[in-house]
Amino acid sequence: MLKKKEAIIIGAGLAGATVANILAKKNYKIIVYEKNNFIGGNCFDYYRKNILIHKYGPHIFHTNKKEIYDFVCKYTKLNNFINKVYVRHKNLLFPLPINFTSIKIIAKDDANYIIQKLKKKFGKTKLITLSQLKQINDAKIKKFYHFIFQNVYANYTAKMWGVKFDKVNPKTINRVKIILGDEHNYFPQDKYQGLPINTYTQMITKMFEHKNIKINLKIDGKKVLKFDFKNKKIYLNKTKFNGLIFYCGSLDELANYKFGILPYRSLKIEFLLKKMKKFQQNAIINYPSHPKMTRICEYKLMTQQKNIDNTIISKEYPKPFILSNKQCNHRFYPIINKKNLVKYNRYLRLFKIFPNFYPLGRLGLYKYFDMDDTIEYAMKLANSFH
């Protein structure tokens, strides 16, 4: 049991802010260490030429859980933006996830036949997976399946994860559904969607605003913490620390890569100022057939900024995470497979000897988390303490 209600949080992103917010209200004294000169983690956004952009690519909040939505709404108001993604393949432009509109554009003369077959087989079912489509024994549907498999999913996924399609975790593909209808919504299962009407940075700043929270920017938490594995003790600035420690970084880095580097995918994001009011039809357009680029995002269309003559787009180029390469040394997506999970669990066991140490967030837990997943996990963890 803690003698004092104290906590250290390494990382001032969404996970760290959620834990800090809840524990501060329980009268914990909290110190936050953030190695960057800004808070917000991967959600960090800022203005460039009066246009709000996201430093680490587009972030769109979405959830079907009212508790998570209500928590976010304490610190911001959402603009109710619905993410309507398009796919550009040669001269075709069609909605993603694939819906009846997509089928009409892709299959043309066979479209009505395919739609009626799907309606008959699945009835009132709203969403199906690519795997379910593959299992239908019909020549025209198989032809359609092979087209979208290769030109929408396989190329994009291979670029995104840097592997052949058959090596990708099946859950990755089935995250994006096929909609049996004309609804155009990238997150069709999520009732609550949008971006802050101000900024993510302001939202997270408000989450940290409490008399019990002190934030230290431009200080790497790994440099102020020392782990004595032999005696199972943790020191903060050379003084033994018995409070709670929440670590939002990658465990391999904290352990000085004792068991090797945990693999991640990174992104090269190229921001371009365009002297026009609007660059593309929708906020996000995927380019699965492009040899290197995955998508183009136009931020003004997400943030719904008006009366600005210019616009800013970003082009994304997936890369392997390479620690020594400045262009791709930011961890974006953990590569979750059996081999990598074995390595991660070795690191996890290494730190589990410390009963007051808790990994947190996408990096600390080596999981693919959306924003609502991040908040939900952090809320449950923080609420487990009195």
| Predicted pLDDT at 176 | 67
Does 154 share its domain with 117? yes
| Residue-wise pLDDT tens digits, 29-61 | 999 999 999 999 999 999 999 999 999 999 999
Give the angle subtended at the CA of 32 by the CAs of 370 and 332, to the nearest 5°. 30
Task: Check whether residue 152 and residue 212 sit in a common domain.
Answer: no
Give the C-alpha separation, 201 to 251, whole Å: 25
Question: Which distant-in-sequence residues (6+ apart) come within 8 Å of 239 by Cβ?
Answer: none
Residues 121-132: tens digit of each pLDDT: 999 999 999 989
Choosing from 156, 184, 212, the residue where a domain stops is 184
Residue the block writes with tokens 């399946």 = 145
Examine the domain organization and report whether 223 and 171 are in the same domain.
Answer: no
Identify whether residues 162 and 250 lie together within a single domain: no
CA distances 359 to 127, 256, 355, Å, are: 34, 16, 12
Could you tell me the CATH number of the domain that includes residue 209?
Answer: 3.40.50.720
Task: Please indicate, yes or no, if residue 22 is contained in any of the structural domains.
Answer: yes
Tell me the pLDDT tens digit for each residue of 73-123.
999 999 999 999 999 999 999 999 999 999 999 999 999 999 999 999 999
- Note whether 249 and 363 are within 8 A (CB): yes
Rounded CA gap, 13 and 25, in Å?
A: 18
Whether 175 and 99 share a structural domain: yes
With bands split at pLDDT 50, 70 and 90, how would you rate the model's confidence at 168?
A: low
> Is 302 a residue whose pLDDT tops 70?
yes
Gap between the Cα atoms of 347 and 336, Å rounded: 15
Query: What whole-number distance in Å separates Cα of residue 208 and Cα of residue 39?
Result: 10
Domain that holds residue 170: 85-184
- Which of 150, 184, 218 finishes a domain? 184
Question: The tokens 């101000």 sit on which residue?
Answer: 198
Q: Specify if 204 maps to a domain.
A: yes
In a domain? residue 162: yes
Q: Is 128 found in the same domain as 162?
A: yes
Assess if residue 49 is contained within a domain.
Answer: no
Shared domain for 246 and 353, answered yes or no, is yes
Q: Which pLDDT tens digit goes with each residue over 352-367?
A: 999 999 999 999 999 9
Tokens of 25: 């209200």
Domain co-membership, 13 together with 100: no
Residue 282 belongs to some domain of the structure: no
Specify whether the CB–CB gap between 255 and 228 falls below 8 A: no
Contact 334, 302 (CB under 8 A): no
Per the DSSP assignment, residues forming a β-bridge with 264 are 334
Q: How far apart are CA 20 and CA 17, in angstroms?
A: 5
Do 207 and 255 lie in one domain? The reply is: yes
Determine the Cα–Cα distance for residues 122 and 297; give it in Å rounded to an integer.
34
pLDDT at 361: 95
254 falls within a domain: yes
* Residue 39 sits in the same domain as residue 101: no
Domain-embedded: residue 58 = no
Ranges of H-type helices in the chain: 14-25, 66-73, 100-107, 111-122, 130-134, 139-148, 155-161, 170-174, 200-208, 221-224, 251-254, 300-303, 338-351, 361-364, 371-383
End residue of a domain, out of 161, 184, 207: 184
Q: Give the list of residues 6+ apart from residue 117 with CB closer than 8 angstroms, or none.
A: 136, 138, 140, 141
- DSSP string covering 214-274: EEEET--HHHHEEEETTTTEEEETTEE--SEEEE-S-HHHHTTTTT-PPPEEEEEEEEEEE
Q: 160 and 214: one domain? A: no
| 368 and 245 assigned to the same domain | yes
Task: Please give the mean pLDDT across all residues of the chain.
Answer: 94
Per-residue confidence (pLDDT) for residue 4, from 0 to 100: 77
Does residue 364 belong to any structural domain of this protein? yes
pLDDT in tens, 232-266: 999 999 899 999 999 999 999 999 999 999 999 99
What residues contact residue 126 under an 8 Å CB cut-off, 6+ apart?
179, 180, 181, 188
1 pLDDT above the threshold of 50: no
Can you tell me the mean pLDDT for 328-347?
95
Count up the domains in the chain and report the number: 2
- In terms of Cα–Cα distance, which of 130, 160, 161, 128 is closest to 146? 130
